[in-house]
Amino acid sequence: MNVNAENEKRPVIKVRNLYKIYRVGANKVYALNGVSFDIFKGEFVAIVGTSGSGKSTLLNMLAGLEPPTKGEISIGKKRIDKMNERQLVVFRRDNVGFIFQSYNLLNTMNGLENVAMPLMFKGVSRSVREKKAAKYLELMGVSDQARHMPNQMSGGQQQRIGIARAMVVDPKIIFADEPTGNLDSKTTMDVLGLMQKVVREQGKTLVMVTHDNTIADYADKRIRIVDGKIISIEYGERGREIEGAETEKEELEISLGLSEGTEA
């Protein structure tokens, strides 16, 4: 991060000192306890942690679905922690794609209509948006599902539709919450492969939340989170390329805090 300041590469996502505190009765629960990191354009980032580590909370806040208690989230040049709900909706519509664990396709719509849905929210006319949606269906290899309803599709097919839907608005960032959580291992590999392809060929930034280390291995950069704190940031080969000379090592100084417990 020290080098990046002068670098022409500006982070797409910049998070500084992010806290999320829930009150449970008289106790304060730190879902996120001072998190800071950067994500650059074209990166495939995995946020890895166990259940209850705060990884989903982090993703929700990056996507503007949940306001932080304290701290700063910038996406591009915009401070999304300062936006109200209406602005966030517009922001998401224009900049963010979403892939869900349970696919969340609308049962009343067929494959094509599901993919075209975010464009419908933008007010794009039906013929234009369906043409565009068909293109992404083809890219995901599920053109044959265009006229099928979600309940006629397998999980893998549904998730491919889901990915196509996330990409149809041509977002800067795609968020994926346990995208393979409901899939078998073979389909998982396929879907992850597709996601990698999206990042590499379409130049998207993808932030994925997972609890599974093998899945996280597909990412260029892995942010490990335990009890609301980042314990290490690891880079794959491509990740090092993107972030530049700074990172030969796989772990950051923050990770030193791991063995000592609560410092950092």
Partner 1 sequence: MKFSDLLRLSINNLKRRKLRTFLTVLGVIIGTASIVVMVSLGIGQAELQTESIESYTSLTTIDVWQGGMFGDGSSEEQKYITDEVLESFERIPHVTGTSPQLRVNVIAKQGVYEANLQLLGVSPAFLEEINVGEGKLPLDPKKLEFLYGNSVIRDFMNAKTGEGYYTTYEDPDVDLMGKPVFIIFDTSAYYQSHAPQSAEQAGAESGQPKVKPPKKYIVPTAGLVKGTPDDWGQYSYSTYCNVDALKAQLKSIYRKEPIPGQPTDKKGKPLDYFVYDNASVYVDDMENVKSVQDTIAAMGYQANSNMDWVEQNQKTMQIQQAILGGIGAVSLLVAAIGIANTMMMSIYERTKEIGVMKVLGCDMGNIRDMFLIESGCIGLMGGTAGIAISYGVSFVINKLYLRNQMMSGYVMPGSDSMGSISRIPLWLVIMALIFAVAIGMLAGFFPSRRAMKLSPLSAIRNE
Which positions lie near partner 1, rule CB under 8 A?
A: 56, 59-60, 63, 65-66, 85-86, 89-90, 92-94, 96, 98, 100-102, 104, 106-109, 117-118, 120-123, 125-126, 165, 169, 177-178, 181
What is the closest distance, in whole angstroms, from the C-beta atom of residue 129 to partner 1 in the complex?
A: 9
Nearer to partner 1, 61 or 254 (CB): 61
Counting beta carbons within 10 angstroms of the beta carbon of residue 104, is it exposed (0 to 12), middle (13 to 18) or buried (19 or more)? middle
Q: Do residues 242 and 234 touch, judged by C-beta distance below 8 A?
A: no
Nearer to partner 1, 37 or 175 (CB): 175
What is the closest distance, in whole angstroms, from the C-beta atom of residue 139 to partner 1 in the complex?
A: 19
162: three-class secondary structure by DSSP: helix
What is the closest distance, in whole angstroms, from the C-beta atom of residue 241 to partner 1 in the complex?
A: 31
Q: Do residues 83 and 70 touch, judged by C-beta distance below 8 A?
A: no
Mind giving me the DSSP string for 112-143?
HHHHHHHHHHTT--HHHHHHHHHHHHHHTT-G
For tokens 């791991």, what's the residue?
258
Nearer to partner 1, 45 or 233 (CB): 45
Cα→Cα distances 199→9, 116, 195, Å: 17, 21, 6
Please give the Cα distance from 193 to 196 (Å, whole number). Answer: 5
Nearer to partner 1, 50 or 200 (CB): 50
Nearer to partner 1, 63 or 191 (CB): 63
Task: At 190, list the tokens.
Answer: 């396929």
What is the closest distance, in whole angstroms, from the C-beta atom of residue 44 to partner 1 in the complex?
A: 20
What is the closest distance, in whole angstroms, from the C-beta atom of residue 256 to partner 1 in the complex?
A: 32
What is the closest distance, in whole angstroms, from the C-beta atom of residue 63 to partner 1 in the complex?
A: 7
* CB contact burial 212-232 (16+ within 10 A = b; e otherwise): eeebbebbbbbbbbbebbbbb
Nearer to partner 1, 76 or 181 (CB): 181
Counting beta carbons within 10 angstroms of the beta carbon of residue 50, is it exposed (0 to 12), middle (13 to 18) or buried (19 or more)? exposed
